[in-house]
Structure 1
Amino acid sequence: MIKTILIVLAVVIACILIYAATKPDTFRVQRSITIKATPETIFPLISDLHNMQTWSAWEKVDPGMKRTYSGAASGPGAVYEWDGNQDIGQGRMEIIDAMPPAKITIRMDFIKPFPAQNTLEFVLQTEGDSTRVTQAIFGPSPYLSKVMSLVFSMDKMIGGKFEESLAELKTITEK
């Protein structure tokens, strides 16, 4: 009886692990919002990493986290490092490309709780008298991430924070 249960359990675990292996090797999460402002008004709020404290939902997770800024004041070469509680972890972001006022590309290096390197991108598109701001994160999806995705939805977790952040960016910009 116990032997049968162990065999069934092993088969179920093997099936889960095999299924995880079939998941995509990359991921992408993105959200958009329309803000009643020009790209020229919104762009500096994103390209100067000091401004993230005013609109990023992650900043509220651990208001006491240590922040370090280096490199350029804004645009390519601007660096922001953080070291926070277990919910926020530790990492570094660097603006690697900026095309004012349309696009900003940021390399994100996560150190804790799990090491990872991803790309964060903001695209600003004029729509009449407003701007559509799209925030996206993408990168490789290693096997452990694939297994975790069977339980946790990255789209819901990250996408929810993107929605909060973009809503706050909209509020600040439209004041």
Structure 2
Amino acid sequence: MLKPILLSVAGAVALGVLVVLVLASRKPESFHIERRTVIAAPPEAVFPHLNDFRRWARWSPWEKLDPSMQKTYGGPPSGVGSTYAWRGDSKAGEGTMTILESRPSELLTLRLEFLKPFPATNTVTYTLVPKAGGTEITWAMDGKNTFMGKIFAVFFDMDALIGKDFERGLADLKQVSEEAGP
């Protein structure tokens, strides 16, 4: 009596794992997450908050995850070659960012490398476009979907999860930039 029950449970578990693996294999090889907003300040007032990692504490949603997070800055104070490394608790994780391209008041491109809780390397871009009454800013992240990432995506909508952080960050960047004035 116990053997058929155990075999049925094992079969159900194996089928469940197989279904997850098949669904994961159908996920795209790459991902793109993007959010945008309009800030009532010119690009010249917004850009410095992006281009200098030391200013991120005022607006980045991840800076608030672990108040005792260890931070290290390297390279020039801002612009291409500037680096930021962090090591925090399980929520903040560990990683580094490096500014790859910096076109004042137009574009900032970063390499974002996560070390913990899982390794990943992504490209982050901030694009600023002057608009009547301010700046339209687009925050985007692109990367490759590892197989573990694909399995995670079977259960969670990454665009919704990370998109919420982008939205919070953009709202805080808007506040900081508008307070600073033109």
2:134 is aligned to 130
3-state SS, counterpart of residue 24 of structure 2: helix
Q: What residue is the counterpart of 2:171 in the other structure?
A: 167
Instruction: State the partner residue of 1:17.
Output: 21
Q: After superposition, give the CA deviation of every residue in 1:26-63 in whole Å (9 maximum; x if it has no partner).
A: 11111111001111111111001111011101111112
Which residue in the other structure is 1:157 paired with? 161
Q: Which residue of 1 aligns with 2:88?
A: 84
Question: Contact conserved, 2:24 with 2:150, CA < 8 A, in 1?
Answer: yes
Tell me the residue number matched to 2:72: 68
The separation in 1 between residues aligned to 2:13 and 2:93, in whole angstroms, is: 34
Between Structure 1 and Structure 2, how many residues are aligned? 175
TM superposition shift of 1:128: 1.2
**Residue 143 (structure 1) aligned to one of 138, 144, 147:** 147
SS of equivalent residue, structure 2 residue 169? helix
- Whichever of the two has the greater Rg, that structure is 2
Partner SS state of residue 161, structure 2: helix
- After superposing on structure 2, the runs of 4+ consecutive aligned residues of structure 1 that deviate more than 2 Å are 1-9
C-alpha separation in 2, matches of 1:125 and 1:94: 23
Give the alignment's Cα RMSD to 1 decimal: 1.1
Which amino acid is 2:81 matched to?
Answer: G
2:33 aligns to what SS in structure 1?
strand
SS in 2 for 1:101: coil
Moved more, 11-20 or 87-96: 11-20
Q: Determine if the alignment matches structure 1 residue 96 to structure 2 residue 100.
A: yes
- Provide the secondary structure at the position in 2 that maps to 1:150: helix
1:71-127 Cα shifts (integer Å, max 9, x gaps) = 011110000000001100110000001111110000011111111111111000111
Q: Is the CA contact 2:38–2:134 (under 8 Å) kept in the aligned structure 1?
A: yes
Query: Normalised by the size of structure 1, how large is the TM-score?
Result: 0.96
The residue type equivalent to 1:23 in the other structure is K
CA–CA separation in structure 2 for the residues paired with 1:18 and 1:135: 32
**Residue 7 in structure 1 maps to residue 11 in structure 2:** yes
Deviation per residue, 1:124-155 (Å, 9 max, x gap): 01111211111111100001100011112211
User: Any unmatched runs of 5+ in structure 2?
Assistant: none
